[in-house]
């Protein structure tokens, strides 16, 4: 039931974001052409790539929240992490294209003396409006990423924030160019691409850490240790391993109890700790406990 609810949140959020990005792409293209702004057209390309990545996130949201089956006994959560990596790659490619186009303009300006025509007011208005809209999209997506525990939605939220930086750079470049510093617009595009690149690499890093079963952070590990050692019948915590599986967490424990206890009594202790960990520690999907006899 929870997985179905999370999938619905991901799909609905992705649809809204896809529609808004599509709207922004159209408006930016119009403003770029009518306003004679290369920065705005570059930003439009960024929005078009966002529409495509939104579609991928929506599809992955459905797949990653599918239940356990015979072929996938641990579920499908890693689909979400793999999509995060793909999103990061898409963002890096977009940044490269934005930077390349700007470098060509500056090269032609510096070497061949090509004139850079200053943009018009419509480009500046759309660039400022984009910052406001993208901040709203960032907050909306971030909230729903937390509700659905989706790394791909969280990656999209970061992408919105990188788009804000891109639009902010466009505002500086367009405004400066309108004031007479013509080359400021392509320079702004190059600065933008570095901000976008940074976000892309951050998203890839997070996605990879979930795919390769990175352990939980120290705060969660300490919380698990406290639950185990607070049980008066546990004589020792012999081993503790955690691994991220998408946005979920698997826990493997070895505890030692009094060797005089029966198998049934030892099982009850392990069962109690198992239930406490899955109930009290956020995002724990499964906890496996092995019981050892305690030797003085």
Please give the model's pTM, rounded to 2 decimal places: 0.62
Q: State whether residue 285 is helix, strand or coil.
A: strand
Locate the domains of the chain by residue range.
Answer: 2-211, 218-294
Q: What Rg do the C-alpha atoms of the chain give, in angstroms? A: 25
Pairing of strands 234-245, 248-258: antiparallel
Architecture per CATH, 218-294:
2-Layer Sandwich (3.30)
Among candidate residues 73, 77, 94, 82, the one with its CA nearest the CA of residue 25: 94
Domain spanning 2-211: which CATH class is it, in words?
Answer: mainly alpha
pLDDT single digits (tens) 105-153: 888 888 888 888 888 999 999 999 999 999 999 999 999 988 887 777 8
Look-up of token digits 């459905």: 62
- Asked if residue 189 lies in contact with residue 99, where contact means CB atoms within 8 angstroms, the answer is yes
Determine whether 70 is exposed, middle or buried from the number of CB atoms within 10 Å of its CB (0-12, 13-18, 19+): exposed
Average pLDDT of the segment spanning 47-66: 68
**pLDDT the model gives residue 182:** 79
Look-up of token digits 């641990």: 74
Q: Is the pLDDT of residue 227 over 80?
A: yes
Q: Is the pLDDT of residue 49 over 90?
A: no
**pLDDT the model gives residue 61:** 59
**pLDDT the model gives residue 79:** 66
Give percent above pLDDT 90 in the chain.
Answer: 31
Q: Is the pLDDT of residue 295 over 80?
A: no
**pLDDT the model gives residue 231:** 94
pLDDT single digits (tens) 171-180: 888 888 888 8
């Amino acid at each position: 039931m929870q997985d179905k609810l999370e999938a619905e949140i991901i799909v609905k959020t992705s649809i809204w974001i896809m529609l808004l990005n599509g709207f922004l792409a159209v408006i930016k293209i119009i403003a770029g052409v009518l306003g004679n702004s290369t920065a705005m057209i570059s930003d439009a390309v960024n929005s078009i790539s966002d529409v495509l990545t939104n579609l991928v996130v929506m599809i992955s949201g459905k797949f990653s929240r599918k239940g356990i089956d015979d072929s996938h006994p641990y579920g499908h959560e890693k689909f979400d992490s793999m999509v995060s990596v793909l999103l990061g790659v898409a963002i890096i490619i977009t940044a490269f294209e934005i930077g390349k186009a700007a470098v060509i303009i500056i090269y032609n300006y510096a070497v061949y003396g090509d004139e850079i025509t200053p943009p018009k007011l419509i480009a500046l208005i759309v660039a400022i409006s984009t910052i406001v809209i993208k901040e709203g999209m960032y907050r909306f997506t971030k909230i729903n990423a937390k509700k659905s525990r989706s790394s791909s939605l969280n990656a999209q939220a970061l992408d919105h924030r990188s788009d804000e930086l891109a639009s902010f750079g466009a505002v500086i470049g367009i405004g400066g160019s309108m004031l007479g510093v013509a080359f400021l617009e392509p320079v702004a595009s190059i600065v933008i691409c570095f901000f976008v690149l940074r976000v892309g690499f951050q998203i890839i890093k997070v996605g990879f850490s979930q795919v390769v079963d990175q352990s939980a952070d120290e705060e969660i590990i300490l919380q698990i240790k406290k639950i185990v050692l607070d049980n008066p019948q546990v004589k020792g915590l012999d081993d503790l391993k955690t691994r991220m599986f998408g946005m979920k967490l698997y826990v493997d424990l070895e505890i030692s109890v009094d060797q005089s206890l029966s198998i049934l009594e030892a099982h009850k202790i392990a069962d109690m700790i198992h239930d406490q960990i899955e109930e009290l520690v956020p995002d724990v999907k499964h906890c496996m406990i092995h019981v050892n006899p305690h030797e003085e």
